[in-house]
Structure 1
Amino acid sequence: MLEASADVVMAQATSSDYPVLKWEHGQTRALEDHVAEEVPVALVYNGISHAVMLATPQDLEDFALGFSLTEGIISRPQDIYGIEVVPQANGIELHITLASEQFHQLKLRRRNMTGRTGCGLCGAESLEQVMRVPLNVVPMGERVPASSLERAFEEISRQQQLQQLTGGTHACAWVSNAGEILLLREDVGRHNALDKLIGAIAKSGAGTTGFVLTTSRASYEMVQKTASAGIPLLVAMSAPTGLAIKIAQSCGITLVGFARHQKHVIYSCPERILHKEAK
């Protein structure tokens, strides 16, 4: 095997130090700043490149699995026979070995998603591809105490190691109904962080009893990805969009926004949240 070049090694770093000039309180000083990295990551299925994303180069096997699930390329982790992370001089390739039936279906989709961005629309060929609402409504499942949302909100920042270092990443956490953070994934892109998390959930066999907490806003695609994984509750620390609310309602997902200390706003299916009113 060829030895990776210095450029390739640098491309795999999750953060790097850059010289900056900082102005603060009327004074300037030169220092080094920790900055989150993002690199082109190509998802290559059975030798054919399907999509190129800009992502933080960590937890990439989780990313490959989660992306494949949430994009409907596979319906279960067993449809992927192997994932290999292959560094390149100008980015990273994820070589994914797909079962023959799923690969055949992928080729029939006639979809070119190269250059996809956070808008979630780049490369879609029709309105039907954009509005791919899951056919099945997510079951009600267990009700979640509001205190669990509060507990997870208080804990998530302490587990965001890359965010603490750089201040430039989103996080998505898999949280038990009791409010314990079980898994957490970070990325410069909120959609990537969610794909990584869903991949990690699928790989761990943790099931769908719990909820997702994201440090970002809740776009329609964040709701779609959550629904595709059969997760009944998405809690965002920022605002949802109107389309995200409509899709959450149609999928039977509870969508919570503006999760903060001692407050949150429920936009759909409020019956899943148990509130204990203050006396």
Structure 2
Amino acid sequence: MPRNSSRSPARRVAARTLRFGTSEPDERMIDVPVEMPVEIVFADIPFAVMMATPTHLDEFGLGFCLTEGVVQNAADVRGIETEEVEGGIRLRIDLAPDRLSQHLARRRAMSGRSGCGLCGIEDLAAIRRPELAVRAPPRVALPALRRALSSLEAGQSLNARTRAVHAAAWADVQGEVLVLREDVGRHNALDKLIGALLRDRIDPASGFIVITSRCSFEMVEKSAAFGAGMLVAVSAPTSLALDQAERLGMRLIAIARRDGVTTFVEGPPSARRDLVA
């Protein structure tokens, strides 16, 4: 699979800024992130269309397959081809025969239904995927967290240009950011990251995931699909994200900023302990 895309992640456009209290507009060129439809296809059968930044699409396809439960590991994906089509990009993903047959059976069960966020489930009990299991959370010291957060900000080259994209990164237990991916979609950024980690055979126990976005239920689920035992979010978590992280035994750290981080634990203050070693 190719490791990178030659497509530009940003486009330069003319802009005019009107400032309050002044009569002269400020005219300049600015960068905006590229967003386009990416169609995911298995055996010539469309599965989903995602609005994404058209970079690292092979990693995106691989990560998406894992986090959406289409495959169980990277070996289930035999190849990914990128095709330019009118209005967007098509990802043709070649699945192992057994995974393809399971996917087609699942698709038949999903026919006629559509939705957003949690598509194709039959009832509320199906929201939580019982097969998910994470590794024991790594021992990470506060200085390592601070280092990772600082590196995360410094590594967001596309966001520095556009101020309009999300990032997801993988850091080792010393806080060194080893892989970082950006995208207009927070889920996409995480899928790209997980795809890169799968491709490079990174051990989920060797580090932790850091995301710039809100920490919702889906972000916990996707991280758990990879097997990560620790998730750090710059923004705040939702209640369901906290519940799912606790159920899975995942260490969830949020509102992670330069001056500190926040952990969430049950029980009275006297019974609480810092979750960061």
Which TM bucket (shorter chain)? 0.7 to 0.9
Note the C-alpha offset of 1:238: 0.4
> How does 1:130-145 map onto structure 2 within 5 Å?
130-136=127-133, 138-145=134-141
* Distance in 1 (alpha carbons) for counterparts of 2:13 and 2:220: 35
Match of 1:98? 95
Equivalent AA in structure 1 for residue 169 of structure 2? A
- Structure 2 residue ranges without an equivalent (≥5): 267-272
Note the C-alpha offset of 1:228: 1.1
Q: Which moved more, 1:140-149 or 1:245-254?
A: 140-149
Note the C-alpha offset of 1:30: 2.0
Structure 1 stretches of at least 4 aligned residues deviating more than 4 Å after TM superposition: 112-117, 122-125, 268-272
TM-score by length of 2: 0.88
Match of 1:24? 19
* Distance in 2 (alpha carbons) for counterparts of 1:164 and 1:247: 32
Question: SS of 2:70's equivalent?
Answer: coil
- Structure 1 residue ranges without an equivalent (≥5): 1-8, 275-279
Answer yes or no: is the 8 Å Cα contact 2:132–2:225 preserved in 1.
Answer: no
Q: 1:65 to 1:148 in 2, by over 3 A?
A: same
Query: Does the alignment pair 1:206 with 2:202?
Result: yes
Note the C-alpha offset of 1:271: 6.1
Decide which of 169, 181, 184 is 2:180's aligned counterpart: 184
* Distance in 1 (alpha carbons) for counterparts of 2:220 and 2:233: 10
Query: Does the alignment pair 1:72 with 2:69?
Result: yes
Note the C-alpha offset of 1:268: 4.9
Question: SS of 1:238's equivalent?
Answer: coil
Aligned-residue CA RMSD (Å): 2.3
Match of 2:269? none
Decide which of 8, 17, 33 is 1:13's aligned counterpart: 8
Match of 2:261? 264
Match of 1:172? 168
Question: SS of 2:54's equivalent?
Answer: coil
Decide which of 182, 189, 192 is 1:193's aligned counterpart: 189
Answer yes or no: is the 8 Å Cα contact 2:210–2:231 preserved in 1.
Answer: yes
Question: SS of 1:43's equivalent?
Answer: strand
* Distance in 2 (alpha carbons) for counterparts of 1:198 and 1:268: 27
Answer yes or no: is the 8 Å Cα contact 1:70–1:229 preserved in 2.
Answer: yes
Note the C-alpha offset of 1:210: 0.3
* Distance in 2 (alpha carbons) for counterparts of 1:45 and 1:90: 19
TM-score by length of 1: 0.87
Answer yes or no: is the 8 Å Cα contact 1:52–1:113 preserved in 2.
Answer: no
Note the C-alpha offset of 1:154: 1.1
Decide which of 32, 49, 53 is 1:35's aligned counterpart: 32
Question: SS of 1:24's equivalent?
Answer: coil
Query: Does the alignment pair 1:111 with 2:106?
Result: no
Match of 1:273? 276
